[in-house]
Structure 1
């Protein structure tokens, strides 16, 4: 999303959801360096959806701006402060496998194979 690049969002990741869930076709995850930046990005995205796409969007979390969720029907945008993003780790939850959808050098943590158990 160009608006995120313009607002200097950090670690922007785009995750295709088609076939994984019916809630949306696409998810965008990005971080801001402060609550002020997160709130500003969210407000701009909400306004862009309204003016350019002629749609309403639902926004959650704007007052505290630690984690703002924007539901634009077929696209969901999550904007985080870095600590909050690390805690929830949505990329791992949605099994994001790496840089193919990423606009940054950030990579998801490696997948860990389940340990084999033995009965002794």
Structure 2
């Protein structure tokens, strides 16, 4: 791996980068809503982690829906000029979509409750993770 990272793989740091990061976040949230993802939670990571600016956790009712949501989301991000790497699509119990500034976790409900990422990332926090508005 080279020392220089592409802009899409690192969290935004400039004003322009912040605007692009926000546009990407809005695109992802709209895509999840359009594809009827359920129980969408957004956890702001800026200042807490250098992996991304936001982590979004959502679920689908079945492996088929989880896979479809993930594929559509990746397509929309790529059509908007971004990058999207997908892990876990073969089983579609837990699919990770890394878009650089936003990391998306899509689960089946049982798998989500087992791993409980929201609790892990909210440890030591004064506030609960943000529930996305429908």
Same fold (TM over 0.5): yes
**Cα distance in 2 for residues equivalent to 1:27 and 1:49:** 15
Larger radius of gyration: 1
- 1:98 Cα deviation after fit: 2.9
Greater alpha carbon shift after TM alignment, 89-98 vs 7-16: 89-98
SS in 1 for 2:73: helix
**Secondary structure of 1:14 counterpart:** strand
- Using the size of structure 2 for normalisation, the TM-score is 0.72
- Matched residue count: 103
TM-score by length of 1: 0.80
Partner of 1:98: 128
Q: CA RMSD in A?
A: 1.7
**Residue 14 (str. 1) matches residue 42 (str. 2):** yes
* Residue 46 (structure 1) aligns with: 74
Residue 103 (structure 1) shift: 2.2
The runs of 5 or more residues in structure 1 that have no matched partner are: 105-120
Larger relative helix fraction:
2
Shift of 1:8: 1.3
Q: Which of these residues, 24, 28, 46, is aligned with residue 56 of structure 2? A: 28
